[in-house]
Amino acid sequence: MSASSFGIKLGRGIGYTAAAVAHGAAVTVRATGQFGADVVTGTTDGYVEHSERFAALRLAALQGAPMTTPVVPKRSIKVAVKA
C-alpha cells in the first residue's frame, strides 16, 4: 500500500467519523431536548476555545517556535493518606 493511498483511506475515515458525530449530535439534540442542546453548546464552546489555542501554536511554529502543546490541568486532586 502506498503512502498516498493510506493517507486517502485515513482521511476518508476521519471524514466519516466527523459526519457520523455531526449526525449523532443532531439526532441526540432532537431526542433529549434541553440536555442535548446544552451538550451541543458545551461542545461548540470547547471546540472554539481549543481550536484558537492550537491555531496560535501552529502560527508560532511557522515563525520558528517549537510546536508543543502544554498540558494545563483544570484542577488538582488532593489525596489524603492515612498511616
Q: What is the DSSP string of 23-65?
A: HHHHHHHHHHTHHHHHHHHHHHHHHHHHHHHHHHHHHHHHTT-
Cα–Cα distance measured from residue 47 to residue 54, given in angstroms and rounded to the nearest whole number: 10
Residue 73 lies in a domain: no
Q: Which among 25, 24, 70, 18 is positioned nearest to 43, based on CA atoms?
A: 25
- Is residue 25 classed exposed, middle or buried when 0-12, 13-18 and 19+ CB atoms within 10 A define those classes? middle
pLDDT at 16: 93
Provide the percentage of residues in the chain whose pLDDT is more than 90: 16
Confidence of residue 1 (pLDDT cuts 50, 70, 90): low
Residue 54 lies in a domain: yes
Residue 68 lies in a domain: no
Mind listing the pLDDT tens digit for each residue in 6-17? Answer: 888 999 999 999
For residue 41, give its domain range: 3-62
pTM of the predicted structure, to 2 decimals = 0.44
Confidence of residue 74 (pLDDT cuts 50, 70, 90): low
Mean pLDDT score, 43-55? 88
